[in-house]
Amino acid sequence: MSSSEAPNHQQAELWNERGGIWVEQQALLDRMLAPFEARLTEHVVAGGGVKVLDIGCGAGATTLALATRVGPGGICLGVDISAPLIAAAKARARADGAAHAAFVRADAQIHPFEREAFDAVISRFGVMFFEDPTAAFANIRQAAAPDARLAFVAWRSAAENPFMTTAARAVAPLFPPQPAPDPDAPGQFAFADAERVRRILTASGWRDIAVEPLGQDCVIAQEELMPYVMHMGPAGAAVQNADEATREEARQRLWSAFQPFLAGGRATFTAACWWVTARRGL
């Protein structure tokens, strides 16, 4: 990063330029990831005045779910770097009349959160994208109240998540070769190494750290599968930017590649993740 560039500027560009795709797929993603929403919601102690911080909240599903648990005087604040996603989250909150939910577009690595303000910090696949994750979790820790609880889910390795990597493999022959990704670079699988996750949290001041494997069954309706794989992720971006003939060939390759996941009118896969918990400490 040059001295003139803000932290996470590449992620900011990505999530603002491509954020509209995530908004379009919001309902599908919420259904697919609902089991994680339930797990995170159950982790937060319900009650009046509880304040929760949701990092990388996207279109707001987890924030809105948690807002129903915080009670009078409480708040669940969702933070995301993407303007399109935050706009969608705010619109959902207005439509739902969610009085205890709030959203702010911000980079959690550097945002000046109110110190010691939150009783719990959670994230559903929103913490793997920091340029400097140690700095990010140190900043988030400052926003946590003494002995506040942290809980998040993050993807394990690409090799353990074949559903999430099938699209890229299927369409790779249609596009120029891509360099192997840096495993520690910001991205979906940046937290694949459990020991790295522990090091980051320890260095940023968190205590009582637990990184546990979690395998969660997820489902996508068959009629939703192709719109999902044709648009989401780097493979989806490449396909949508290609000419019509290439897009049609990609469609055929993708349909064939995902057949092993299809049965009974739906695609089913196991999401291989980490369930990570920690405490701020006193």
Q: What is the pLDDT of residues 21-57, one digit of tens each?
A: 888 889 999 999 999 998 998 888 777 789 999 999 9
Contact 74, 49 (CB under 8 A): yes
d(CA 273, CA 102): 27
**pLDDT band at 218; cut points 50, 70, 90:** very high
- Give the bridge partners for 218, in sequence order: 269
**pLDDT band at 19; cut points 50, 70, 90:** low
* pLDDT score for 4: 52
Listed by start position, the domains of the chain span 9-158+180-217+273-279
The stretch 128-137 carries a mean pLDDT of 96
| pLDDT at 201 > cutoff 90 | yes
d(CA 197, CA 161): 18
The superfamily CATH assigns to domain 9-158+180-217+273-279 is Vaccinia Virus protein VP39 (3.40.50.150)
* pLDDT score for 233: 84
* pLDDT score for 2: 44
* Residues in CB range of 197: below 8 A, 6 or more apart: 154, 191, 211, 274, 276
Give me the percent of the chain exceeding a pLDDT of 70: 97
Token match 């699988």: residue? 189
Dump pLDDT digits (tens) for 75-128. 999 999 999 999 999 999 999 999 999 999 999 999 999 999 999 999 999 999
d(CA 197, CA 202): 9
- Give the bridge partners for 76, in sequence order: 52, 101
pTM equals: 0.93
- Give the bridge partners for 103, in sequence order: 78
d(CA 87, CA 58): 10
Helix (H) or strand (E) holding 100: none
d(CA 134, CA 30): 28
The stretch 196-207 carries a mean pLDDT of 98
